[in-house]
Amino acid sequence: IQGTIRPHAIIILPNTSGMELLLTYEDEGIYIDIYGHFTKETVLQWGEMPASVAYLPSNQVMGWGEKAIELRSVETGNLEGVFMHKKAQKLKFLCERNDK
């Protein structure tokens, strides 16, 4: 990547004793260990550039952008759900309830 990188979140992967991380930045995420070595060849790729990224206790990562909120598996990066919205400024809050 040339120029400035916009980081979003550093997520400690579950069941790794804090040794493996998911680093999310720009429109992707990479899996590394605490020494900076890649642990998976998989790259988490968002459908659109998220404004923010958050970890959910349901082992999902949520990224919300201008047109959609994406839910992806922390372990695999696979898309698990998409919520479309028209205007990001109208989205006042988002919460997790009963693991949903």
Residue 31 lies in a domain: yes
Residue 92 lies in a domain: no
Residue 75 lies in a domain: yes
Residue 89 lies in a domain: no
The per-residue pLDDT for 37 is 96
Q: How confident is the model at residue 92 (pLDDT cuts 50, 70, 90)?
A: low
Domain count, the chain: 1
The per-residue pLDDT for 24 is 92
The answer for 35, left when phi > 0, alpha when psi is -120 to 50, beta otherwise, is alpha
Q: Residue 5 — φ and ψ, nearest 5°? A: -105, 130
Residue 49 lies in a domain: yes
Q: How confident is the model at residue 89 (pLDDT cuts 50, 70, 90)?
A: low
Q: What is the domain range of residue 51?
A: 7-84
Length of the chain: 100
DSSP label of 90: G
Residue 69 lies in a domain: yes
Residue 64 lies in a domain: yes
CATH number, domain of 61, equals 2.40.10
Token pair, residue 72, equals 């992806």
Residue 95 lies in a domain: no
